Amino acid sequence: MTTADVLAPVVPVDEEARATPAWRTVLNTIEGRIGLAVGALMLLLIAFGRFFAPYSPNELGVGPRTQGPSAEHVFGTDSLGRDVLSRFLSGGDMILLVPLLSVVLAFLVGGGLGMFGGYRRGRADLVITRTFDLLLTLPPLLIVLVIIAGIGSSTAVLVVTAALVFVPRVGRLLRGATQAVVTNDYVAAAQARGERTAAIILREVLPNIAASAIAEFALRLTYAIIFVATLNFLGLGAQPPNPNWGLMVAEGRTYIAISPWATLLPAAGIAALSIATNLIADALTRHIARDTARGTVTL
């Protein structure tokens, strides 16, 4: 090192300390790349696939019933003679949207309550955590069955009930993360400035737990996709003749030996979606684990 090197940087920047943004780390890992590629592909397919459908998804008898692949019907037809490919291309939206909305709702409610409890501590925290614990003791499917049996099924009900299942799980995680952050003096500094609770949670706490929150979001979305697909499969969600993938799997499985694609294609769609989110969640988690060790998590 020459003298000039010593003199030049008034504030020497430790390049090691400079954090890499999350998206870059995600792109740098093999699972992140695969996850993003598959995820993008599935997103395009779900959003625009319907415009390329050769037939109307719900039109009966566009071909012979329950048939394997042919020149007119690339993936065959189902038991009512509908085109499997057209149904697949049109039926992905709710398999992604319902889980997405329910996880967002779970984060708003559960995350909000968890952060509030973790910050406030005391009695409010006790009530919140006990409520979470109570919800956690109930089997997820039981909650959904009871609610849907009671008030019937619709997209909104599905979103809310699925969210109810995720609220305590998300809440507990964010509460724990918040507890670790509130012991820092910058929270005390904000309190001494007289900042309001909401401002402290949003400005001081949230940015510091955002990394784990986002990883949890991606992971929770994976569960949600499978969970909602399961509900549809069980007939608790979308009703016929909706081309919903979960429902398609349920309808097609009786004839799987004759027209395998009527079951396999939507099943593969669900699998690809959940695997993609899972891979992205893994890459994010790895990013956080590495940068937490260095103390410079950035998103």
Q: Which amino acid is at 44?
A: L
Residue 18 near another protein by CB under 8 A:
yes
In this chain, which stretch among 149-157, 165-173, 200-208, 271-279 interacts with another protein, using CB under 8 A? 200-208
Alpha helices per DSSP H over 54-139? 84-90, 93-106, 112-120, 122-137
Residue 30 near another protein by CB under 8 A:
no
Query: End-to-end CA distance of the chain, in Å?
Result: 34
Residue 6 near another protein by CB under 8 A:
yes
Are the beta carbons of 46 and 56 closer than 8 angstroms?
no
Task: Out of 74, 109, 157, 186, point to the residue binding another protein (CB under 8 A).
Answer: 186
CB of residue 120 to another protein, shortest distance in Å: 13
| Whether residue 241 has a cis bond before it, omega within 30° of 0 | yes
Number of Cβ atoms within 10 Å of the Cβ of 10: 5
Residue 204 near another protein by CB under 8 A:
yes
> Token pair for residue 32?
């992140």
Are the beta carbons of 201 and 115 closer than 8 angstroms?
yes
Residue 1 near another protein by CB under 8 A:
yes
Residue 17 near another protein by CB under 8 A:
yes
Task: Out of 139, 150, 152, 194, point to the residue binding another protein (CB under 8 A).
Answer: 194
CB of residue 27 to another protein, shortest distance in Å: 19
Residue 208 near another protein by CB under 8 A:
yes
Instruction: Name residue, tokens 């608790």.
Output: 236
CB of residue 145 to another protein, shortest distance in Å: 41
> Token pair for residue 194?
């007289």
Residues 6+ apart with CB under 8 A from 74: 85
Residue 7 near another protein by CB under 8 A:
yes
Which residues make up the interface to another protein (CB under 8 A)?
1-3, 5-7, 10-14, 17-19, 184-186, 188-189, 191-196, 203-204, 207-208, 210, 295-296
